[in-house]
Structure 1
Amino acid sequence: RETAGLAQIPAAEAAGTSQAGLSRFERGRSLPSPELVRTLAGVYGATAAETARLVELAEAIRPEHLNSRVIMQRGLNHFQQRLATIEASSRLVRSFHPAAILGTLQTRAFVTHVFGRAGGDLDDNAKSTATRIGAQSLLDDLDRQWVLIQTEGALDWCYGSAAIMAEQLDHMVEVSRRPNVTLGIIPHRTPATVQPLHGFHIFDERAVHFGTTSGAALIGDQADIEEYVAKFNLLAELAVYGDQARELLTRIADEYRQST
């Protein structure tokens, strides 16, 4: 809008929305529909490619609850690509999971095992693997930040095999050394003031994604997002970081190696 030289009021009038609504969109307090994004792009004189990209993001980030059967019917890769689009548009990603290794941290062997046991079409599973691994290239962009929190219990869960887990934890040690990644581990028996029932991902402060056994959800309500941010901050206070986290990861990786 500023590049187009438009103030909020005339821009809102041209797009058929309110100035207050446009202000909320620009401050990340609410999400515009794909249709409004297309209209605003036209008002601002965006190129066709810019418009297509903005509409794609608006469609990806729209609030939605999806049943697992719906996800499988559409294809796992369809949903993986949607999440990758949201992550690619974010400067700060905060993720927590109490029981599973976060996708951003997963090795190819781990990801292959995840989607290899997902059921459904084999080609779609292979594409899902490629999409998840491909999204990890965003870690090379030092202008982006990740804060990733795992429980020690997630590390102890031997998913796939001891060999897969040993490699996985070694990889997490290396990722933790990246300057734009903060990796925290919540040790066993750490006194806690919060009981998270599922993992979740916060994209900037625009959207939250979480999955359960029966489905997945993307939420954009600001009050809900603020609740997840507050919960994440409490969890982050419980974690150890840096050398302490790496020592814990290395110890568990060595235990896996000894069991093979």
Structure 2
Amino acid sequence: MTFEPEELGQSRADLAETLKTLRKRAGRTQVWLAQRCNMSQTKVSNIEGGKLTPTLVDVELILRALDAPPKLVSEVAALARTANTEWQDVWSQRRTGLEKKQNELAGFEKSSTDFRYFLLSMVTGLLATPEYVRASLAAIPGDHSKAIAKKLERQAVLYDMSKRFTFILTEQAVRWPYLAAPVMAVQIDRLVSISLLPNVRLGVIPLEGHMPTAPLNTFTVYDSRIATVETSTGAMIFRDHRDVSAHLNEFSTYEDYAVFGEQARGWLTAWASRFRS
């Protein structure tokens, strides 16, 4: 399926209106539909009003209850998948303020328990030193002091023992010379320190041996609910279970290539030493 950015915003409204129209054509009330789908009437109302984006499971339940024909089921399911996909371009993020994006990420972190980060080319904000965080925003015009403060504030979630984190970093992500050599060494030291937290698994993929698969993007999976994929011009947010499952499977593949624990810390210490030398 091809996603057009403008469709990703409009599709929510289209889906809401389509489901509402189908129910009315079937001569059914929201209360009847809620009972048939084991939902609350409030949830049905919010779906039809565009206040709540239904999952594909929700949509399938509704269409089955309304006895929709197979062709229509396929079309509405495709619309639902598009509605569960969001595109956030970097220009809009800069226009509305980068701290808004940080608040959104903090919301994901607050509502999730199990986190998986695949880091292809650089260190993510939760693992970054203040110097690294500042450098990551240095090329963007404007005052980003609030966004920087929020990024550093978000790191407190790592010390919430009710949450579990798995970070996988490629050697390139760890060693890309984003900062001067001595400061890069300190950044790698932070990775070693965080890897010792009991609720954190931090792995690295050294660039050696044979790896028959090649990653294309940095991505994060929150529980089994949401997957975010980063590109140079923005981020895709997936809520469709098929997209989330695909990223969970991809993560599992890279997890098999990664080394963790003392072996990972050995690599990190060696890379930090190279920067110090």
- 5 Å-filtered alignment, 1:166-205, equals 166-205=185-224
Aligned pair in 2 of structure 1 residues 120, 174: CA closer, same or farther (>3 Å)? same
Aligned length, in residue pairs: 211
How far does residue 102 in structure 1 lie from its aligned partner after superposition? 2.0
- 5 Å-filtered alignment, 1:71-220, equals 71-117=93-139, 119-122=140-143, 125-220=144-239
Per-residue Cα deviation, 1:111-154 (whole angstroms, up to 9, x for no partner): 0111222x1321xx111111111111011111100000001121
Residue pair 1:146, 1:182 contacting (<8 A) in 2 also: yes
Ranked by relative contact order (alpha carbons within 8 Å, sequence separation 6 or more), the top structure is 1
Report the equivalent of 2:26.
none
Report the equivalent of 1:50.
none
Task: Work out the CA distance in 2 between the residues paired with 1:88 and 1:16.
Answer: 23
Task: Work out the CA distance in 2 between the residues paired with 1:16 and 1:229.
Answer: 28
Q: CA RMSD in A?
A: 2.3
Per-residue Cα deviation, 1:70-104 (whole angstroms, up to 9, x for no partner): 11111111112111111121100100111111222
Aligned pair in 2 of structure 1 residues 12, 153: CA closer, same or farther (>3 Å)? same
Look at both structures and tell me which one has the larger radius of gyration over its CA atoms. Answer: 2
Task: Work out the CA distance in 1 between the residues paired with 2:216 and 2:149.
Answer: 29
Unaligned runs of 5+ in 1: 1-7, 19-24, 33-61
Q: Secondary structure at the match of 2:44?
A: coil
Residue pair 1:151, 1:185 contacting (<8 A) in 2 also: yes
Q: Secondary structure at the match of 2:39?
A: helix
Task: Work out the CA distance in 2 between the residues paired with 1:75 and 1:95.
Answer: 24
Q: Aligned letter for 1:120? A: P
Quote the sequence identity (%): 29
Per-residue Cα deviation, 1:32-73 (whole angstroms, up to 9, x for no partner): 9xxxxxxxxxxxxxxxxxxxxxxxxxxxxx741022211111
Unaligned runs of 5+ in 2: 1-33, 46-51, 59-83
Report the equivalent of 2:9.
none
Task: Work out the CA distance in 2 between the residues paired with 1:193 and 1:228.
Answer: 17
TM-score by length of 1: 0.76
- 1:14 aligns to 2:33 (yes or no): no
